[in-house]
Amino acid sequence: MQMGQGAFGTVISALDQDGQMIAIKTIKIDPKFQNREADIMKKLDHQNCIKLKSVYRKKADEGEVFQYIVMEYMPTSLGKFLGNCKTTKRPMIKQSIKHYAQQLFKGLEYIHSLGICHRDLKPDNVLIDPKAHTLKLCDFGSAKNIKEGDKSTADIGSRFYRAPEILLGCTHYDFSIDIWSAGCVIAQMLLDGNVIFAGDDNNDQVVKIMNIMGCPSEEDANSFEHPLPWPTAERTTDLTLLFPPNTESKLIDLLTAIFSYNPKDRPTATECLKSPYFQTMKSSLPFLKVSRGNFS
């Protein structure tokens, strides 16, 4: 059964020899493209990262080579779950958002400690089990080990979740681009599945950010290389007005810090986990039933 399809391959669910559910990602090998996914996943061993079971390659009759990545099974993606929230107009409960956000940062803290930047964090690349309220990062097809001073492509990630420096063509970036993306994912949970910054192209995406976060100071605007110019835009709202009235002020404070234009001003994943927002966690949660929709 097909579970999803991304830029780098398709994912199906299946049963292994022991009758356990697994997920299998099929990737067509392109000699001109360096796919690091399997190598990255071999390094991962954390409860908030999808677990690699095995990886192998097969040659098709036409001569094409396919890679098969066998992973643990998770019921759905956060993207599909949020799509259901949006369709049914039933918001996520606040404690569920907090639990998922905490696990999101724990996963990022772990991969960043290994020097790995995900570079394509979005709801579709986050797997969840709504009954158990567990979350795991997945789809490491764009992930890369990065070090300070490394040059990397700016043509990475999905537009709605790209940090300003990526949108403006910066090729020397760090783990803070994942933190920005995580902020966008959390905001989307607060907004019942609606994207917080939804631009028509990279330039308009920066405009949409500026409409909410205001214009950067001269210092922030020049805090990273940007081959592309900053657009002109005005602030039309802010996070306090944008989110539901019952949104915790501590979460708004955290997201305000995350959505800093200067990458060095954004909190690390470890610092996010120390936010006062996470100091009031409930140990258990009721099962969140959004609808009877199909999450497969």
Cα–Cα distance for residue pair 110/130, rounded to 1 Å: 22
Residue given tokens 């643990």 in the structure block: 72
Query: Does the active-site annotation cover 253?
Result: no
Q: DSSP string spanning 163-227? A: -HHHHTT-----THHHHHHHHHHHHHHHTTT--SS--SSHHHHHHHHHHHH-PPPHHHHTSS--S
Half-sphere exposure of 20 (CA within 13 A, CB side): 8
Beta bridge partners of 185: none
Catalytic residue among 18, 30, 61, 120: 120
Cα–Cα distance for residue pair 233/209, rounded to 1 Å: 9
Cα–Cα distance for residue pair 48/176, rounded to 1 Å: 19
Cβ atoms within 10 Å, residue 126:
26
Cα–Cα distance for residue pair 125/119, rounded to 1 Å: 11
| Residue 129, C-beta contacts closer than 8 angstroms, at least 6 positions apart | 74, 75, 76
Cα–Cα distance for residue pair 122/162, rounded to 1 Å: 9
Active site residues: 120
